[in-house]
Amino acid sequence: MTVPLFDPSTPLEPLRGEIDAAIARVLDSKHFILGPEVEAFESELAAYVGARHALGVANGTEALTIALRALGVGPGDDVVVPSFTFYASAEAIPPTGARPVFCDVDPETFTVTADTVKAAMTRDTKAVIAVHLFGNVAPVAEIEALGVPVIEDAAQSLGSRGAGGRPGALGTVATLSFYPSKNLGAFGDGGALLTGDAELADRITMLRFHGSRDKVTYEQVGYNSRLDELQAAILRVQLPHLDAWADHRRQAARWYAEAGLGDWAGLPQATDGADPAWHLYVIRTEQSETLERALPEAGVGARSYYRVPVHLQPAMASLGAGAALPGTERAAREHLAIPISAAITREQVQEVVDAIARCASGST
């Protein structure tokens, strides 16, 4: 592949020595679970985002379920969640006993809005999951004004900025994933929760370790969900570079616009006041399926992500039955991710745009 969809390895090459030293430090310490590296990373991550508390967990999906449990969500409750998102955003809800209620998205920004959330709310709505999809920033303050707690699914948005601050510090609680392809990626699975509420942080700390505060008394049925020391040490090396990597992603978005991509497709649209660090650079075009087939043959990575929205997935179809989500249907039909990374060059961007122009016009 001449221009890959992802390139997580190139930005890490200059950090290889620091990463090797961090791994050796953990091996020498013989402390592998919830130790000093996790504690230090939690402190550094909280400071970066602007949250009072950060708690490491095993992955982003469990982070969502633990956030819901910490908020008291349970049987008989409804949780509003977009259907145009990764499956885990909704999958995390049923383990609490609550019901996912699917809401629409703005098909140009790909995020939920206060209006789409309000249209899906019921008298049993206990929480809303607002996904900062592709690195864009959902309007959390407007949604919280509806009177329900907002969980930010910020798995794709580290490095982004919103009008009210960084994603992760905008709602009641936020969740992160450190899957290797993310803007801040571990060398395996990992996740975290962020909150400004000390009592909520205490409940999260208990739930991530089997529902116990002291390993002796178990107050709830919790989870074995802990970020390990090796991943925390690796993430600590990368975190100081995140803003520079995010700035490069923003620069790449400008290069795409300057190269004339807008002549062939709808460019990603930031929400009001947002400055996204595009985790994925997702264009909109009625030729999305054609381009998805043709671009890899031209040496350019391209992929659709949510062609079948969550409410139409087999496991969720009964819950999503009858949902009218026109924005979701349009987004699912038109979206296509094209290459972006913290290492993509202007020449590669031009190559992508040239390939799109050839494929969209039918020339070879």
- Confidence at residue 321, expressed as pLDDT on a 0 to 100 scale: 86
Residue 364 pLDDT > 80, yes or no? no
User: Does 10-240 match 242-361 in CATH topology?
Assistant: no
Extents of the domains making up the chain:
10-240, 242-361
> Around Cβ 338, how many Cβ atoms within 10 Å?
25
pLDDT tens, position by position, 200-249: 999 999 999 999 999 999 999 999 999 999 999 999 999 999 999 999 99
- How many Å apart are CA 195 and CA 112, to the nearest integer? 21
The pLDDT of residue 320 is 86
Provide the H-helix boundaries in the chain. Answer: 16-29, 36-49, 60-70, 88-91, 114-120, 140-144, 198-208, 229-238, 242-258, 288-297, 317-320, 326-334, 346-361
Q: What CATH topology corresponds to 242-361?
A: Aspartate Aminotransferase, domain 1 (3.90.1150)
What CATH number should be reported for the domain whose range is 10-240? 3.40.640.10
Confidence label for 362 from pLDDT (cuts 50, 70 and 90): confident
Q: What is the pTM of this model?
A: 0.96
Q: For the purposes of burial, counting CB atoms within 10 Å of the CB of 21, is it exposed (0-12), middle (13-18) or buried (19 or more)?
A: exposed
Contact of 146 with 175, CB cutoff 8 Å: no
Average pLDDT over residues 26-30: 95
Inter-residue contact 238 to 12 (CB < 8 Å)? yes
Q: What is the number of alpha carbons within 13 Å of residue 313 lying toward its C-beta?
A: 17
Mean local confidence (pLDDT), 160-171: 96
Residue 345: beta bridge partners?
A: none
pLDDT tens sequence across 301-338: 999 999 999 999 999 999 988 889 999 999 999 999 99
Q: Percent of the chain, pLDDT > 90?
A: 96
Gap between the Cα atoms of 195 and 274, Å rounded: 21
| Average pLDDT for 35-48 | 98
Tell me the one-letter amino acid at 354. D
